[in-house]
Amino acid sequence: MKRSGAILLTALALAACDDFKPAPAAKGPAPVPAATTFKHEISGDLSGYYIPAAPISIDGYRVKALFLGQSADFAAWEGASKSATFAPVMIEFEKEGAETIRVLPKTYEVTDGRVRFEGTDPVLGNVAFNGTLDQGALATARRNLGEEAPVLTGTVRAGGSAFGNQKFRWYGGD
Strands annotated E in the chain: 38-41, 48-52, 57-58, 61-68, 89-94, 101-103, 105-111, 114-121, 125-133, 152-158, 161-171
- Report pLDDT for 152: 98
Q: Is 60 contained in some domain?
A: yes
The per-residue pLDDT for 2 is 53
Q: Is position 120 within any domain?
A: yes
Give the tens place of pLDDT for each residue, 100-136.
Answer: 999 999 999 999 999 999 999 999 999 999 999 999 9
Q: Higher model confidence: residue 148 or residue 119?
A: 119
Determine how many CB atoms are found less than 10 A away from the CB of residue 83. Answer: 10
Whether 57 shows a pLDDT value over 90: the answer reads yes
Domain membership of residue 23 (yes or no) is no
What is the domain extent for residue 147? Answer: 38-171
* Average pLDDT for the chain: 84
0.85 exceeded by the pTM?
no
